[in-house]
Structure 1
Amino acid sequence: MTNLASIAIDMDGVLADVYAQFYDMHLAETGEEIPQTSMQGVTEHAAFPLLEKHVRTAGFFRNAKVMPSAISVVERLNQRYEVFIVSAAMEYPNSLLEKYEWLQEHFPFITWKQIILCGSKSPIATDIMIDDHFKNLNVFRGSKSYLFTQPHNIFADPGRHLRVNDWDELASYLL
């Protein structure tokens, strides 16, 4: 057992740039560009009409881009905190292997013991949680929670959660 503070870090929309993945797949399939402004303040399902098809497409989770500065900041966090990557993966079972492989490629310093692929994040009992969805943060019982800005939450009042816009800003709070 360790005395380090523990952190739960979400994958989609926090480590993995799924917005870019949705945008790129939509453009490739339809030839239509989706304006950035039309994504703001609406759910991902509303912003991307082919979302359900794309998340069920082989390679969607495996090929997502990494958020800028995520690798270096998480590597430093991993030296100072007990880090867990926590991702709701059960809704799209094909994502289980893809998310694991993606983490192994981009975050090789994260061991299999630090990866939690789950259905609900409500049982997560870390000290800190970083997520882009209120549905996960609002049930979190730890001491600090960070709302990672994404188009779907950009206009929302973060309430008791501290809003962070990118990994560099998050580093300024936690490192």
Structure 2
Amino acid sequence: MLKLAIDMDEVMADTWAKFIHRFKEREGFEITTEMLIGKELSQALPHELTPKVKEWINEKGFFRDLPVMKDAQEVVKELSKKYEVFVASAASEFRNSYEDKYDWLEEHFPFIDWRHIVFCGDKSIIGADIMIDDRIRNFAQFKGRPILFSSPHNHFVTDYERVNTWEEVAGLLL
């Protein structure tokens, strides 16, 4: 079986949706998709709100209740019948995220064995045949087939094979 590495944030889990909800609920600031196109979240915010991104993303529990991306559960389950599926997340970037991410995966993707969950910092260690990720920096040293999962911040990137939805992933890999 080919090895398939799948990123978590902005690929399986909708991190953007949580930020959008939090800014509206807690700060009264509405973020639109148009504001995010081609930008990192902090670039789309008024200067006085940018510290909130770092504050929230580092708090315990932030990653625990992220919404699941549409069709991700069903497609990943089908992919796991054809590929050796690994979840590869750069969890080391946010030390409080480890337990949250593990518990989230256990709840929403219980068919992924704990031995196939890779929490790392630098994804160049990943030796899969295919990697689905939203961050092109994770493809820099990757020797397999990179597939870019669309996210507002990577909207203008054209150098990689791209998928916009989990339905498209299914069409491409199943």
TM tier relative to shorter chain: over 0.9
Per-residue CA deviation, residues 19-68 of structure 1 (Å, 9 max, x unaligned), is: 00111111111011012211110113323522101101222100100000
Of 123, 126, 139, 1:124 maps to 126
TM-score by length of 1: 0.93
Aligned residues: 169
* Residue 103 of structure 2 corresponds to residue 104 of structure 1: no
Runs of 4+ with deviation above 3 angstroms:
none
Per-residue CA deviation, residues 110-142 of structure 1 (Å, 9 max, x unaligned), is: 010010001110110100000000100222111
CA contact (8 A) 1:25 1:54 kept: no
Aligned partner of residue 102 in structure 1, secondary structure: helix
Please list every run of 5 or more consecutive structure 2 residues that lacks an aligned counterpart in the other structure: none
Per-residue CA deviation, residues 137-156 of structure 1 (Å, 9 max, x unaligned), is: 222111x1100000000122
Instruction: From the two aligned structures, give the one with the greater helix fraction.
Output: 2
TM-score by length of 2: 0.94
Aligned to 1:52: 54
The CA distance in 1 between the partners of 2:106 and 2:171, in whole Å, is 26
Aligned to 1:165: 164
The CA distance in 2 between the partners of 1:45 and 1:33, in whole Å, is 14
The CA distance in 2 between the partners of 1:130 and 1:53, in whole Å, is 27
Of 69, 81, 94, 2:83 maps to 81
Backbone CA RMSD of aligned residues: 1.0
* Residue 13 of structure 2 corresponds to residue 13 of structure 1: no
Aligned partner of residue 27 in structure 1, secondary structure: helix
The CA distance in 2 between the partners of 1:124 and 1:156, in whole Å, is 22
**CA positional deviation for 1:92:** 0.8
What is the percent sequence identity of the aligned residues?
44
